[in-house]
A = this chain, B = another copy of it.
Amino acid sequence: MGKEELIQVHKDIAPFIHKTPVLTSQLIDGIAGVHLFFKCENFQKMGAFKMRGATHAIMNLSEVQKSKGVVTHSSGNFAQALALSAKSLGVKAFIVMPSSAPGVKKEAVKGYGGIVIECEPTLEARASTAKAIQEKEGVTFIHPSNDLDVILGQGTACMELLEEVPDLDYVFTPVGGGGLIAGTALAAHYFSETCKVIGGEPFEVDDAYRSLKSGVIESNTSANTIADGLKTQLGNINFPIIQKHVEKITRVTEAEIVAAMKLIWERLKIVSEPSSAVALAAFLKEKETFKDKKIGIIISGGNVDLSHLPF
């Protein structure tokens, strides 16, 4: 693993993803006292950075594996990302989704050509259902975040950001399953001498914060956050990368998430998920520490239910 490998990953997936824009706002800079650069993965295909990792994971399969197909379990963006990237690459995709997932999400996966398999809404049922399909169909399981190919794919967002703004001092990302922040940390490590990576995490699901403190992967007992993309936990592949290359994780309240989300919508004029606002909220919480620095914020996605907005 190294800089050259990430460059190759980016080259491989480039035809299948968007190079997303980097937005700035003088007004938010004025409020924040720094220079902020927002990497807008809400404009990515299917509306989230997950498209990068899913595409790379499928491309990296053998021809035999590709001919059989892939399976994952997800109720969120990775479900759509794997379905769409599989379709782009001519590969069959089985997506295990909890029966409780909103109909609109199941329809979106089907719209991208994915085969939806419903299961009981427990983590155990998801895993065992995916396992059963894997064995029955001979397909390859692709984990949404604890997979090195997925992690490297997610890292290409920060790589593009650093190409555009090479002298960033910090990059903030949200932390859910750990794929985005691990990929971002690798990209910052390879492509900058100085850029540090900080994670934002809701107090309500602060497993990554606690994992870094204790040195072992911690779980959440509850998951009462608006940032529904961040309810998952770290895995054994991304955790060591996070331990080694992430500066720290800052926890934020639900009110801080909503306030940051409102700022993004009102000032940047973009539709983005609550999870994305967690990264900005983490920065804003300690903004005095970063005076006059150049700060990147990864806006992770824009798939949000407009009829359930928090404002």
Query: Could you say which interface size class chain A belongs to?
Result: 10 to 19
Q: Which of B21, B42, B266 contacts A306 (CB 8 A)?
A: B266
Whether, in the assembled complex, A232 has its beta carbon less than 8 Å from a beta carbon of chain B, the answer is: no
| Chain B positions within 8 Å of A23 at CB level | 43
B306 adjacent to A269 (CB under 8 Å): no
List A residues 1-38 near B (Cβ within 8 Å).
21, 23
Q: Which residue of B lies closest to A302 (CB)?
A: B269
Q: Which residues of B contact A311 (CB under 8 A)?
A: 306-307
* Interface 0/1 of A265-277, CB less than 8 Å to B: 1100111100000
A132 CB–B CB distance under 8 Å:
no
* Residue A155, interface by CB 8 Å: no
Q: Does A64 contact B (CB under 8 A)?
A: no
Q: Mark A289-311, 1 if CB is under 8 A from B, else 0.
A: 00000000000001000110101
CB contacts (< 8 Å) of A266 on chain B: these are 271, 306
Report the minimal beta-carbon distance from A48 to chain B, rounded to whole angstroms: 10
Query: Does A176 have its Cβ within 8 Å of any Cβ on chain B?
Result: no
Complex CA distance for A47 and B23, rounded to whole angstroms: 14
Task: Specify which of B269, B270, B309 is in contact with A309 (CB 8 Å cutoff).
Answer: B309
Contacts of A47 in B (CB 8 A): 269
Q: Please tell me if the beta carbons of A265 and B42 are within 8 angstroms of each other in the complex.
A: no
Contact A272 B270 (CB under 8 A): no
A262 at the interface (CB under 8 A from B): yes
Task: Please report the C-alpha to C-alpha distance between residue A272 and residue B268 in the assembled complex, in whole angstroms.
Answer: 11
**Smallest Cβ-Cβ distance to A261: which chain B residue:** B306
Interface residues of A in 56-74 (CB under 8 A from B): none
What is the bound-complex CA distance between A47 and B47, given in angstroms? 23
Q: Which residues does chain B contribute within 8 Å of A271, judged by CB atoms? A: 265-266, 269-271
Which residue of chain B has its CB nearest to the CB of A265? B271
Question: A87 to nearest B CB, angstroms?
Answer: 13
21 pairs across A/B with beta carbons < 8 Å? Answer: A21-B21, A23-B43, A42-B269, A43-B269, A47-B269, A262-B306, A265-B271, A265-B306, A266-B271, A266-B306, A269-B270, A269-B271, A269-B272, A269-B302, A270-B270, A270-B271, A271-B271, A306-B309, A306-B311, A307-B311, A309-B309
